[in-house]
Chains A and B, each alone.
Chain A
Amino acid sequence: EAGVAQSPRYKIIEKRQSVAFWCNPISGHATLYWYQQILGQGPKLLIQFQNNGVVDDSQLPKDRFSAERLKGVDSTLKIQPAKLEDSAVYLCASSLVPGTSGANVLTFGAGSRLTVL
């Protein structure tokens, strides 16, 4: 089966500019996650969707970050305006609906590496 697709793989911007990342999950996976992985740290959950609804966005810096999953499939994560500390790899992952057998297994994309200068 096809994996989780993310683009772009690399992006360099200056602070105060905006950037958007795209994710296409595995077909049939209703749950989609965006994680932020800062160099030297483990991934941190930013937002979790189930279909097109937000399940958890408690750690999303809402003053500058936004995410949407309008049709319950693809998702976009946007940062505007970017700060230096946003430099990180943004990982998208997907899984089956919680409660489904195998739902606790996340499949990750390769990530989008953001450098803010």
Chain B
Amino acid sequence: AQSVTQLGSHVSVSEGALVLLRCNYSSSVPPYLFWYVQYPNQGLQLLLKYTSAATLVKGINGFEAEFKKSETSFHLTKPSAHMRDAAEYFCAVSDTGTASKLTFGTGTRLQVTL
């Protein structure tokens, strides 16, 4: 069975500061990994995905994530936070056999302060 663990249910950063949201995965097969963002009262929107190509993945809105097999991690980063980045972020995993069946983490709420 696959799972992801998101460390920190709440993260607060100042505008312009580095954003780092942590995700560790557990999978018995090479995983596909995803980050989704959820703005208030909206559905989830895909930020980026890793599907066994390049280990550094660039997504929308300036976010990127690096797949590190040795650390079983897929942390999400952004060099400079904007107020509009305030949202809930979910890491998710699927196996390569049923790539569309996602298992989500519990989410990290990002707060951006002035």
Q: A105 vs B35: C-alpha distance in the bound complex, in angstroms? A: 11
Candidates A40, A41, A45, A111; contact of B102 at CB < 8 Å: A45
* Contact, CB under 8 Å: A106 / B46: yes
Interface bin, chain B: 20 to 34
* Contact, CB under 8 Å: A106 / B102: yes
* Contact, CB under 8 Å: A48 / B101: yes
Q: A56 vs B98: C-alpha distance in the bound complex, in angstroms? A: 11
* Contact, CB under 8 Å: A110 / B102: no
Q: Is the interface of A mostly helix, strand, loop or mixed?
A: loop
Candidates A42, A43, A45, A109; contact of B101 at CB < 8 Å: A45
* Contact, CB under 8 Å: B106 / A110: no
Cβ of B63 under 8 Å from chain A: no
CB of B56, distance to nearest CB on chain A (Å): 19
Q: Which residues of A contact B (CB under 8 A)?
A: 4, 31, 40-45, 48, 56, 91, 93, 95, 98, 103-111
Across chains A and B, which 7 residue pairs bring their CB atoms closest together, nearest first?
A42-B104, A108-B43, A104-B99, A108-B44, A110-B43, A95-B100, A43-B104
